[in-house]
């Protein structure tokens, strides 16, 4: 399954509601004592460093140049910022290569627990679930990817592929259209949209 903005309507139509990760609310800061100056507000979070790359991918119409941008996006998304998570991802990749899927799944479970905000951990596990024949779990993990990074074109493509395999052509078409909204120069996705559109039109006649 390939690495992949996704419509919430598609997710609602194809996935059972999956439990969300529990979040503990941070306590409210104590009020500043009378006569003292309140601490300055914290600085705004820096912009997502992937934003310029996604904007460039959306504008690029040359397929080869777009592929280079897409590769850079995937490289950057693989970086977790945690040595522990990176090591677990490496162990999972090795286990998958050696066809030790149970071990790989255990490593990826640990990744999603240690850093649930890291989209690639969910995406890698979605791919593994798919290769193990569990499309339902794969789609549930894809939903988690897209909560964190709706522009993850690899996850969108994966979902579109599963929908096509299950005969959900109209939903698959919507998924590919969402994919092209992120990565418009992908010729394979363009072809998939054309073929699905023709198939759906033919079925309606």
Identify the CATH number of the domain in which residue 62 sits: 1.25.40.10
Residue 19 belongs to some domain of the structure: no
Task: Report the distance separating Cα 80 and Cα 148, nearest Å.
Answer: 13
Domain that holds residue 123: 8-13+50-204
Is the CB of residue 130 less than 8 Å from the CB of residue 122?
no
Domain total in the chain: 1
Residue 23 belongs to some domain of the structure: no
- Identify the DSSP state of 15: S
Q: CA 161, 165, 169 angle in degrees (round to 5)? A: 80
Q: What is the pLDDT of residues 175-192, one digit of tens each?
A: 999 999 999 999 999 999
Residue 26 belongs to some domain of the structure: no
Q: Place 118 in a pLDDT band, splitting at 50, 70 and 90.
A: very high
Residue 3 belongs to some domain of the structure: no
3-state secondary structure of 23: coil
- What's the half-sphere exposure (Cβ side, CA atoms, 13 Å) at 71? 6
Residue 45 belongs to some domain of the structure: no
Judged against a pLDDT cut of 80, whether residue 106 lies above it is answered with yes
Provide mean pLDDT across the span 73-89: 96
Residue 42 belongs to some domain of the structure: no
Residue 178 belongs to some domain of the structure: yes
Q: How many helices (H) and strands (E) does the chain have?
A: 10, 0
Q: What is the pLDDT of residues 9-67, one digit of tens each?
A: 344 333 433 333 333 333 444 444 444 444 445 555 557 899 999 999 999 999 999 99
């Amino acid at each position: 399954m390939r690495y992949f903005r996704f419509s919430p309507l598609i997710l609602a139509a194809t996935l059972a509601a999956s439990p969300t990760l529990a979040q503990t609310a941070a306590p409210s800061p104590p009020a500043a004592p009378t006569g003292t100056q309140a601490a300055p507000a914290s600085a705004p979070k820096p912009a997502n460093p992937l934003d310029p790359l996604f904007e460039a991918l959306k504008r690029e119409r040359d397929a080869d140049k777009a592929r280079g941008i897409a590769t850079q996006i995937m490289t950057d998304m693989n970086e977790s910022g945690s040595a522990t998570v990176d090591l677990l991802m490496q162990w999972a990749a090795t286990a998958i290569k050696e066809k030790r899927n149970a071990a790989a799944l255990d490593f990826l479970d640990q990744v999603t627990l240690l850093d649930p905000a890291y989209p690639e951990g969910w995406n890698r596990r979605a791919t593994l679930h798919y290769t193990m024949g569990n499309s339902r779990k794969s789609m549930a993990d894809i939903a988690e990817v897209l909560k964190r990074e709706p522009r993850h074109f690899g996850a969108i493509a994966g979902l579109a592929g599963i929908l096509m395999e299950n005969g959900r052509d109209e939903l698959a078409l919507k998924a590919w259209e969402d994919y092209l909204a992120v990565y418009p120069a992908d010729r394979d996705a363009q072809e998939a949209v054309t073929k699905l559109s023709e198939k759906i039109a033919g079925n309606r006649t």
